[in-house]
């Protein structure tokens, strides 16, 4: 599989980890899920992410899952694996494991202990030394990591660490950060890396307008992200916005802390992408009221999309 590069663009879906009702890995559903994502326009997949329940898997399960993903993808799109770890020994072991199996690159978020600019930069320099020539995505997600990475530090990483090829932009609010990074790169003539955005696609039209290259996030309707990116890049931002607006109520609902993944898995199971909506415990549980609200939002979304088409 080709290595991840600065040219990454489109939609890199954060893949779920399907489980059976008793909490075992569901590898048949993993195959169905991969097909589901690719049929709906994913240009890449990201596995072992925070919304992929990576923290609930053993090392052996992680390898089994990633190998199954890679086998099903069969070199059709790049696959990025999350390897974030406070210690470099585990990060190196995970990186070697997924790259030996055929991944295209890895994603690294900073540990929550980092608080100042120079320690953040030093951390990424040391991480890059441990993983060698492996290309990596810098995950900037302060809401989850409690680490705020200033534009100046991200730019320093770009300039000093050539294996950093992509920023997963997940700051909130953070649109000004995209603008500043693009302006800084243009002014200095430094390397332009890919910027793919998270936050469930909640700000995708604005992010693309600010200079992002696409999305790296999850949503039960990945075709929304595909269509927004395609129409925006084709010079039709109004069509992109109209489609985005149709999906926005459900995307917003799916962003609830503690329940978001349960909502996404419920819809993915409803759509036939996975056999069961089960999460591995500990997990949130949907109530009857939650399910009724989801169904209402899906019905309204379906009606609006029919009107737009």
CA distance 235 to 247: 20
First to last CA, the chain: 37
Determine contact, residues 115/146, Cβ cutoff 8 Å: no
The residues pairing with 179 across neighbouring beta strands, listed in sequence order, are: none
Instruction: Judge whether 216 is annotated as a binding position.
Output: yes
The residues pairing with 12 across neighbouring beta strands, listed in sequence order, are: 44
* Cα-based torsion angle of the residue sequence 222, 143, 146, 66 in order, rounded to the nearest 10 degrees: -20
Residue 293's φ and ψ, nearest 5 degrees, are -70, -40
Which alpha helices (DSSP H) does the chain contain, by range?
Answer: 27-39, 59-73, 88-100, 117-131, 142-145, 151-160, 175-188, 204-210, 222-233, 237-254, 260-270, 288-308
Residues in the chain: 309
Strands 136-140 and 44-47: unpaired
Task: List all residues 6 or more positions away from 306 whose beta carbon is below 8 Å from its beta carbon.
Answer: none
Cis peptide preceding 150, ω within 30 of 0: no
Region of residue 301 (phi > 0: left; psi between -120 and 50: alpha; otherwise: beta): alpha
CA distance 43 to 215: 10
Annotated binding residues: 216
Annotated binding residues for pyruvate: 216
């Amino acid at each position: 599989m080709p290595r991840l590069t600065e040219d990454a663009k489109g939609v890199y879906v954060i893949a779920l980890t399907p489980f059976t009702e008793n909490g075992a890995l569901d590898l048949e559903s993993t195959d169905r899920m991969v097909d589901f994502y690719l049929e709906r326009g994913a240009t890449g997949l990201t596995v072992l992410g925070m919304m992929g329940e990576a923290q609930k898997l053993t090392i052996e399960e992680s390898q089994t899952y990633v190998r199954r993903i890679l086998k099903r993808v069969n070199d059709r799109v790049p696959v990025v694996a999350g390897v974030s770890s406070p210690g470099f020994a585990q990060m190196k072991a995970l990186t070697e494991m997924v790259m030996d199996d055929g991944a295209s690159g890895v994603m690294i978020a900073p540990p929550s202990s980092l608080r100042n600019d120079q320690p953040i930069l030093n951390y990424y320099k040391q991480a890059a030394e441990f993983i060698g020539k492996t290309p990596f995505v810098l995950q900037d997600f302060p809401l989850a990591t409690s680490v705020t990475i200033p534009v100046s530090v991200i730019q320093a990483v770009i300039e000093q660490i050539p294996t950093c090829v992509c920023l997963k932009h997940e700051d909130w609010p953070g649109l000004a950060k995209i603008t500043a990074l693009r302006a800084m790169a243009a002014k200095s003539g430094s390397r332009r890396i890919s910027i793919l955005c998270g936050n469930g696609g909640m700000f995708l039209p604005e992010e693309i307008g600010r200079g992002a290259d696409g999305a790296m996030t999850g949503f039960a309707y990945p075709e929304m992200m595909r269509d927004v990116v395609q129409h925006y890049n084709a010079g039709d931002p109004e069509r992109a916005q109209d489609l985005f607006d149709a999906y926005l109520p459900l995307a917003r609902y799916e962003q609830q802390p503690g329940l978001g993944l349960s909502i996404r898995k419920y819809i993915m199971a409803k759509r036939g992408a996975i056999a069961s909506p089960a999460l591995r415990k500990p997990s949130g549980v949907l109530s009857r009221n939650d399910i009724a609200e989801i169904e209402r939002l899906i019905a309204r979304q379906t009606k609006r999309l029919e009107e737009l088409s």
